[in-house]
Amino acid sequence: MSRLLRSAAYGVLSWHDGLTGWRTSRRAFRTLLAASPDEVTEQAQRKLIQLLQHAYQTVPYYRETWNRLGFAPGATTTAADLIGLPLLTRDVIQQQLARLTSEAFAPDHLDIDCTSGTTGSRTSFYRDRGCRVARIGRQWGILEHCGYRPGDRRGMIWGVADDLPRRRGALTPRTRFRRFARANESIYCRVMSRHDMLDYHGRLRSFRPAVLYGYPNAIEQFARFIQRERLAPIEVKRIFCTAEQLHETQRELFQEVFGGVVFNLYCSREHGCAGFECRTHRGLHIDAGSVLVEVLNNGVPAARGESGEIVITDLLNYGMPLVRHATGDLGTVALEPCACGCSLPLIARFDGRESDILYRPDGSVVAGVLLSHLFMGHSSIHLAQFIQEDITSLDVYLVAEGGGPPDLRNAVVQESRSVMGPDVDIRVHFVADIPRNPRSGKFQQVVRKVKHPARARVS
């Protein structure tokens, strides 16, 4: 009953906020979910042509760039034709912001947003109102598919302060209604002190959320805190992880501590919720009605089972079309279709971000995720961060229970060298805490300050 009331209140709130119409997009997503492979391809193709033609006709940057290349999107254009077009990098977006905006939209019909800026500076971009509404609807379609419905109470562990409701000030009937409709109890995870986590634990105990939602590294910190302090359990049905890479050990920990099923999502501020896990949890399905995903290895499509950079063409944002946006995320193309029967494309796994790679002295590349997997056998290590200032050395920062056992330092040096090479100088630092990125609230496992000696493939 309470869920239905909250769900109805959410409908009223979205109408009040000018976001009506999201249910139409949710319906469109549900239809696509049940479609055959041919229908999925046909719809993605139709949306791509529509978007490319709109970009060509109304966006100066694309018109000029594509004219120079002799490319004009037409009725027979396919996804394969994209390969001849340049990638849209963060630098281009930053430098060409005005020329990337569609002339078909009045400025007051566009919303500005920023990337989280984990690495380098923030990048601004625009999104039209219709895109915002469509994203909300499609995201609800995805969440419902994973068992999270509007009105379900949600505990949110989040790193972007602007996304969270302000908790200060007196509650008016209007803010009270908004809180009821949002069904959300949140904690800002950039810094979570013992006091913050105790307070949040108390709030969640009385709120009784059905869903936990947030950054996996922050949820891990909270889960370990509950274990360490032997606090009363918080039991949820579903746990949604986004914004950071989810490790399998975290999935097991969350299921053990919170009792719920874990779903990984691939979401970004630029493209919304682009990918999601189904009930088989064997990779992420891509919402082909929302984005077209290419996985590229040295500029050409990666083979099945191969890792490469994820490049996204956004099919919903007409205010500022993002065609072949180089996301900096790395992913592996699935070897075979998903056993769940859904025809949406499948990415087998995410391999972190391009900024999460380190270099060996010989210039070869190491995916940072390999290092974090190394320390799984050491239960005393709560948190590890790798900072590379130059290619002959690596600083490893560790938060370890009671400083860890006496041989921990040696073990960390040996295990790090097994990945980085025998000659690398490994410096181990035991610290009380490792701060998160001040802008995004994300935990950065790898910080690389050295420039790559040569462009190389991820090993």
Distance CA 331, CA 351 (A): 5
Sketch the per residue contact string, 317 through 346, with Zn ion: x for CB under 5 A, - otherwise: ---------------------x-x-x----
Tokens 């139409």 identify what position? 24
Structure token digits, residue 173: 């009937």
Q: 237 or 282, CB closer to Zn ion?
A: 282
> d(Cα 5, Cα 2) in Å, to the nearest integer?
5
Name the one range near Zn ion by CB under 5 A: 38-46, 85-93, 167-175, 279-287.
279-287
Q: Which is nearer to Zn ion, 36 or 172 (CB)?
A: 36
Nearest approach, Cβ of residue 277 and Zn ion (Å): 8
**Which of 24, 280 has the CB closer to Zn ion?**
280
Shortest Å, Cβ 249 to Zn ion: 23
> Closer CB to Zn ion, residue 133 or residue 291?
291
Per CB under 5 A, which region of 100-108, 135-143, 167-175, 280-288 contacts Zn ion?
280-288
Q: How far, in Å, are 285, 289, 419 from residue 42 at the CA level?
A: 17, 10, 44
Is 278 a binding residue for Zn ion by CB under 5 A? The answer is yes
Interaction residues for Zn ion, span 45-104 (CB under 5 A) = none
Q: What is the dihedral of CA 189, 195, 199, 202, to 10 degrees?
A: 120
Binding status of residue 33 toward Zn ion by CB under 5 A:
no
Q: d(Cα 148, Cα 211) in Å, to the nearest integer? A: 7
330 neighbors 314 (Cβ within 8 angstroms): no
Residue 235 sits at φ, ψ, to 5 deg, of -110, 130
What is the spatial distance between Cα 39 and Cα 97, in angstroms, rounded to a whole number? 35
213 contacts: CB under 8 Å, gap ≥ 6: 154, 155, 156, 157, 158, 239, 240, 242
Residue 236 or 342: the one with the smaller Cβ distance to Zn ion is: 342
Of 17-25, 272-280, 308-316, 428-436, which segment contacts Zn ion by CB under 5 A?
A: 272-280
- Letter for the amino acid at 257? V
Minimum Å gap between C-beta 35 and Zn ion is 14
Q: Report in angstroms how near the CB of residue 338 gets to Zn ion at its nearest.
A: 3
Residue 312 or 342: the one with the smaller Cβ distance to Zn ion is 342
Sites for Zn ion among residues 199-218 (CB under 5 A): none
Which residue's CB is nearer to Zn ion, number 281 or number 427? 281
- The number of beta carbons lying within 10 Å of the beta carbon of residue 92 is 18
Task: Answer positive or negative: Cα dihedral of 349, 354, 355, 360.
Answer: positive
Complex with Zn ion: residue 254 or 276, whichever CB lies closer: 276
Looking at residue 284, its amino acid is: L
Q: How far is the CB of 344 from Zn ion (least distance, A)?
A: 8
User: Residue 304 Cβ, how far from Zn ion at the closest point, in Å?
Assistant: 16
Strands, E assignment, 87-153: 110-114, 124-128
Determine if 296 is a binding residue for Zn ion (CB under 5 A): no
Partners of 264 in beta bridges:
241
Count of residues interacting with Zn ion (CB under 5 A): 5
- Nearest residue (CB) to Zn ion, 342 versus 371: 342
Q: Are 384 and 378 in contact (CB under 8 A)?
A: no
**Under 8 Å CB-to-CB from 329, ≥6 apart: which residues?**
266, 309, 310, 350, 352, 353, 354
Q: How many CB atoms lie within 10 A of CB 372?
A: 19
Q: How far is the CB of 31 from Zn ion (least distance, A)?
A: 17
Minimum CB–partner distance for residue 281 and Zn ion (Å): 9
Q: Using CB under 5 A, which residues numbered 342 to 401 contact Zn ion?
A: 342
Residues that bind Zn ion (CB under 5 A): 278, 280, 338, 340, 342
